[in-house]
A and B are shown apart, each in its own frame.
Chain A
C-alpha cells in the first residue's frame, strides 16, 4: 500500500515540510509573512493536528502543500516533499494526479466549496473520472456508497440535487465525500467542522477516524477547536502568526504554561468569571411571539412538472420575553435558519403569524428603523467588502433617513467603540478587518437600528473559540446595557449555559423540546440527546463541560 505511483519505497515520510515560508504581496508593496520557517513531517497513517487562531497561517499551509496558493502569494523559502518528491517541481500532469487522488483537500468554506450551478452528482463523478477510467455502473455505485459513508440516507436524491438545495452541513458532507472518493493517502482538512452542527461534527470526526483506520489515511487536521483534536490527533502543532510555537501530544500541551497555548486549549476559562444574567421567568407579555408558523419550499426542474416539497417549518410556536435570551438548537437542516429568516422578514411564511408586542409584524415602513435585526453566520459574505466600516454601520440609518450625515457618522463611531472596534478605523474597508472584527462590525450595524430583538443565526460558529468567548462576553454586556432580547441560533452547545435562559430544540422543522440550559443534560428526546452527546464527545478532556 505504501508504494504509491509517485514515490519511491524509501523510509521517507509521506509528507515533509522543511523550512517553509510563505509571503503574500499586500497592497502598497507590503509583504505579509503568512508562514515562517515551518517544519512538519507526516508519516503514513499519522494524524497531525494543526491548532491556531484565525490568521495564524494554517490555511496558507494547507494551500501551499497542494500548490494552490493564490497568485499574490509565493513560497519564499523551504520545500514541500510528498513521498520524497518536491511538490514545487512536479509537472502539471503529475501535480494533477497527486491532487485529489493522493493528497485531498477539504476546504475551509464548505458553503462555497461546491459549484453552485452543477449538480452534486456531476461534481462527485468528475472527481472520480479525473483519476481513472471507470464503468458507468461502477461510478454511480462508488458515489452512492461514498455519500452513504458521509451520512446521507438518500444518496440518489443528493446526487440529483444542487448545492443551494442543501443546508451548510449537508454541503460540507458532500465536500468531504468529494475529497475522499478517490481514497487519498493524505487528507488535508482545513477547518472541516467549523460550519457543522455538533452532532454532525461528531459523526464526521468518527467517519474520518474510521477512514483513517481502514485506509491507513494520514491526516493534517487544521482547526481552532482543540476539543475536536483530543480524540484522535497523534501529534499537535500549535501555530501563531505563521510560526510553530508548540508541538507535542494533547497531554503535553495541556501541561504547557504558555498563555497562548492555554487560551487556545481552554477558551471558556476566560469566561468562567462573568456572571450569567439570571432572570426570573417573567409572566408578562412576550416581546416577540410566533404562532403556528409554517414554511415550505418547492423544488422544480427543467421540463418536468414534478415538484419536490421540502418542509422547512411546521407549526412553530415561540415566545421571547423582553430582555431574555432564547437559544434555538438543532442540527443543520432542522429549520433554524428558516425560522430566523421568517422572523427577520426575509421569507414570507406560508401559515401562522408573527407578533411584536402583540401586533402583527407587517412589512417595515420606509423611514422607520426595523425593530428586529439579524446577524448572519458569515460576516465575510454578509458585509460588502468595498464599503468602509462607517458606511456599513451607518447604512441602516441612511436607509431610514435618520437625522443628518454628521450625526449618523458620529453614531457609527460610537457603535464601533461599543462593540470594541477602534473608531479610528472607520474609514477602512470591510475587507481589511479580520473575521472576528467583521462579526463585531456586523453586530454594530445591527445595533445601529436600535433593535428590540437581535437574531443571531450561527453568528459565532465561524469564529475560533477564544473569539467566540469574547463575543459572548460582549453580547451579554450589551444585553444588560440596552435591554436587548436575543434569539441565539446555534448547532452546538458552546456557551449556552452561560448565556441563555431558555432552550428550544428543533428537528425536521418542528420544535421538539423546550427546556432550560440546566435541564438540557437530562433530556431524553433523541434529537436533544444527540446534541448533548456530540458536545460531550467533542470536548477535550479537562475542558470544563458547558452543559
Chain B
C-alpha cells in the first residue's frame, strides 16, 4: 500500500516538474514580457527598462531563469510577482484557500448527489424513466458554465436573498466568528450551486452507465436469484462492482471542477485563483501564472492520488497487483 502510493506520488511530482518546464517554455515562446508595455510609454527611458529587466533577471537565458525559480521555490517563494512586488506565494496561497473553499464542497456535493441518483436511475429502467433522464441530463449538459454562472447572478439580483458576488460582506470581519462564518457560507451558496450544476450531470451519466452495465452481468442475476433485497442489490452489489471506472472519474472530476471554478470565480468575483490567473496572464506576471497553474496541477494530482487510494480500498484485484 505504502509503496503503491509512494510510486503514484512520485509520478505526480514528475508531472509537476514537467508542467513547470512546459510553462517556462510556453512563456518563452509567447511574445513580450511584463516590461513590454512600459516600452510604449515615452516617460520611461530604455535604460530604466534595461535596468529593471536585469533586476528581475529577465535578461538571463531560460535555463538560468528556471534554476533561479527552482531555488526560489525551494525557499517557498515560488518566484516574484512583478506587479505586486511580493513573493508569488504570498499572493497565491490565500487565493488557493479560497478556491478550495468553493471546489471541495462542490466536489463533495456533486458526488453525494450523483452517486445515489445515478444508481437509482440505473435500477429504475423504463422507457419513460430513460427519456426523462436522458432529456434532463442532456439539457443540463448543454448549458455552458458561463450561462449557469450568469443565471446565478441574475437570481441573486432578482431575489435579493443571496449576495451578488464577492466572498464576504464589507463589515463581516467585525461581527464575531460565528457571524463571519455564516456570512461566508451565505456567499458560498450560489457559486457552489453553480459549480455543482456544472459538474453533476456528467458524473450522474457516468454512474448510471457504469451501474447499468454491471446490472446486466451474470453475478447480478445470480445475486437476484438468491433473493437479495433490491436495495442491497443496487447499493451493496452493483455499486461496488461499478465503482472502478467511477473512481478514475473522480480524479478527472477534480480537474473539471477546477476549470469550472476559474470561470465562476471570475464571473462572481470570488477572490480565488481564477481572477488572479486572468489578471496576471494579462499583465504577463510570469511567476504568478506559473504558480497558479502549478497549484491547479497540485490539486489535480491530489485528486488523482485520492482516486488511487479509493481504488486500492475498493478493488481487491488492484490490491493483489499493487
Taken residue by residue from 64 to 108, chain A's Cβ proximity to chain B (1 for < 8 Å, 0 otherwise) reads as 001010010000000000000000000010001111110011011
* B144 at the binding interface (Cβ < 8 Å): no
Docked Cα-Cα span, A327 to B240, in Å, equals 40
**Which stretch from A269-277, A294-302, A346-354, A390-398 is at the chain B interface?**
A294-302
Taken residue by residue from 247 to 265, chain B's Cβ proximity to chain A (1 for < 8 Å, 0 otherwise) reads as 0000000000000000000
* Contacting residues, chain A, for B222 (C-beta < 8 A): 105, 107, 113-114, 175, 178
Q: Is the CB of A68 within 8 A of B221?
A: yes
Q: Is the CB of B322 within 8 A of A300?
A: yes
* A165 at the binding interface (Cβ < 8 Å): yes
Given A126-B232, A301-B319, A303-B1, do A99 and B226 touch, yes or no (CB 8 Å)?
Answer: yes
* A134 at the binding interface (Cβ < 8 Å): no
* B131 at the binding interface (Cβ < 8 Å): no
Q: Is the CB of B320 within 8 A of A97?
A: no
* B217 at the binding interface (Cβ < 8 Å): yes
* Contacting residues, chain B, for A299 (C-beta < 8 A): 320
Interface residues of B in 7-32 (CB under 8 A from A): none
For B320, give its contact among A115, A126, A298 (CB under 8 Å): A298
For B316, give its contact among A108, A131, A162 (CB under 8 Å): A162
For A131, give its contact among B227, B232, B319 (CB under 8 Å): B227
Docked Cα-Cα span, A115 to B241, in Å, equals 7
Instruction: Tell me the minimal C-beta distance from B186 to chain A in angstroms.
Output: 40
Docked Cα-Cα span, A108 to B221, in Å, equals 11
Q: Is the CB of B232 within 8 A of A130?
A: yes
* A117 at the binding interface (Cβ < 8 Å): yes
For A104, give its contact among B225, B241, B313, B322 (CB under 8 Å): B225
Instruction: Tell me the minimal C-beta distance from B282 to chain A in angstroms.
Output: 48
Q: Is the interface of B mostly helix, strand, loop or mixed?
A: helix
Taken residue by residue from 194 to 235, chain B's Cβ proximity to chain A (1 for < 8 Å, 0 otherwise) reads as 000000000000000000000001111111111111101000
* Contacting residues, chain A, for B218 (C-beta < 8 A): 107-109, 112-113
Given A162-B317, A164-B317, do A115 and B225 touch, yes or no (CB 8 Å)?
Answer: no
For B229, give its contact among A109, A130, A162 (CB under 8 Å): A130
Given A301-B319, A302-B319, do A96 and B229 touch, yes or no (CB 8 Å)?
Answer: yes
Q: Is the CB of A164 within 8 A of B316?
A: yes
Docked Cα-Cα span, A115 to B240, in Å, equals 9
Docked Cα-Cα span, A297 to B224, in Å, equals 33
Docked Cα-Cα span, A482 to B228, in Å, equals 53
* B243 at the binding interface (Cβ < 8 Å): yes
Q: Is the CB of A100 within 8 A of B317?
A: no
Instruction: Tell me the minimal C-beta distance from B154 to chain A in angstroms.
Output: 44
* Contacting residues, chain A, for B312 (C-beta < 8 A): 302
Q: Is the CB of A164 within 8 A of B320?
A: yes
Taken residue by residue from 126 to 147, chain A's Cβ proximity to chain B (1 for < 8 Å, 0 otherwise) reads as 1100110000000000000000
For B227, give its contact among A116, A127, A297 (CB under 8 Å): A127
* B158 at the binding interface (Cβ < 8 Å): no
* Contacting residues, chain B, for A130 (C-beta < 8 A): 226-229, 232
Instruction: Tell me the minimal C-beta distance from A31 to chain B in angstroms.
Output: 19
Q: Is the CB of A116 within 8 A of B225?
A: no
* A118 at the binding interface (Cβ < 8 Å): yes
* Contacting residues, chain B, for A158 (C-beta < 8 A): none
* A179 at the binding interface (Cβ < 8 Å): yes
* B69 at the binding interface (Cβ < 8 Å): no
Q: Is the CB of A115 within 8 A of B316?
A: no
Taken residue by residue from 163 to 196, chain A's Cβ proximity to chain B (1 for < 8 Å, 0 otherwise) reads as 0110000000001001100100000000000000
Q: Look across to chain A and name the residue whose beta carbon is closest to the beta carbon of B236.
A: A126
Q: Look across to chain B and name the residue whose beta carbon is closest to the beta carbon of A109.
A: B218
Q: Is the CB of A117 within 8 A of B225?
A: no
Q: Is the CB of B226 within 8 A of A117?
A: no
Instruction: Tell me the minimal C-beta distance from B132 to chain A in angstroms.
Output: 18
Given A115-B219, A165-B320, do A107 and B240 touch, yes or no (CB 8 Å)?
Answer: no
* B133 at the binding interface (Cβ < 8 Å): no
Given A68-B221, A116-B241, A303-B1, do A178 and B316 touch, yes or no (CB 8 Å)?
Answer: no
Chain A count of residues within 8 A CB distance of the other chain: 43
Instruction: Tell me the minimal C-beta distance from A147 to chain B in angstroms.
Output: 16
* Contacting residues, chain B, for A96 (C-beta < 8 A): 227-230
Q: Is the CB of A100 within 8 A of B225?
A: yes
Q: Is the CB of B219 within 8 A of A97?
A: no
Q: Is the CB of A302 within 8 A of B232?
A: no
* Contacting residues, chain B, for A300 (C-beta < 8 A): 1, 319-320, 322
Docked Cα-Cα span, A68 to B241, in Å, equals 20
For A179, give its contact among B226, B229, B313 (CB under 8 Å): B226
Taken residue by residue from 419 to 461, chain A's Cβ proximity to chain B (1 for < 8 Å, 0 otherwise) reads as 0000000000000000000000000000000000000000000
* Contacting residues, chain A, for B217 (C-beta < 8 A): 112
Given A115-B237, A162-B316, A165-B320, do A107 and B227 touch, yes or no (CB 8 Å)?
Answer: no
Q: Is the CB of B225 within 8 A of A68?
A: yes
For A127, give its contact among B1, B125, B226, B243 (CB under 8 Å): B226
Docked Cα-Cα span, A68 to B224, in Å, equals 8
Taken residue by residue from 19 to 43, chain A's Cβ proximity to chain B (1 for < 8 Å, 0 otherwise) reads as 0000000000000000000000000
Instruction: Tell me the minimal C-beta distance from B63 to chain A in angstroms.
Output: 37
* Contacting residues, chain A, for B279 (C-beta < 8 A): none
Q: Is the CB of B320 within 8 A of A117?
A: no
Instruction: Tell me the minimal C-beta distance from A172 to chain B in angstroms.
Output: 12
Q: Is the CB of A114 within 8 A of B219?
A: yes
* B314 at the binding interface (Cβ < 8 Å): yes
Docked Cα-Cα span, A115 to B313, in Å, equals 16
Docked Cα-Cα span, A53 to B179, in Å, equals 76
For A98, give its contact among B227, B236, B240, B244 (CB under 8 Å): B227
Instruction: Tell me the minimal C-beta distance from A132 to chain B in angstroms.
Output: 11
Docked Cα-Cα span, A298 to B320, in Å, equals 7
* B59 at the binding interface (Cβ < 8 Å): no
* Contacting residues, chain A, for B225 (C-beta < 8 A): 66, 68, 99-100, 104-105, 107
Instruction: Tell me the minimal C-beta distance from A77 to chain B in angstroms.
Output: 23
Q: Look across to chain A and name the residue whose beta carbon is closest to the beta carbon of B221.
A: A68
Q: Is the CB of A107 within 8 A of B232?
A: no
Docked Cα-Cα span, A63 to B221, in Å, equals 9
* B33 at the binding interface (Cβ < 8 Å): no
* Contacting residues, chain A, for B232 (C-beta < 8 A): 126, 130
12 residue pairs from A and B, CB less than 8 Å apart: A68-B225, A100-B228, A101-B227, A115-B220, A115-B223, A126-B228, A130-B232, A164-B320, A179-B226, A297-B320, A300-B320, A302-B312
Q: A107-B222, A300-B320 are in contact. List 17 more A-B contacts (CB 8 A).
A: A66-B225, A68-B221, A92-B230, A99-B227, A107-B225, A114-B219, A117-B240, A118-B240, A126-B228, A126-B236, A131-B227, A162-B317, A164-B320, A182-B227, A300-B1, A302-B1, A302-B313
List of 5 A-B pairs having minimum Cβ-Cβ separation, nearest first:
A100-B227, A99-B227, A100-B226, A162-B316, A105-B225
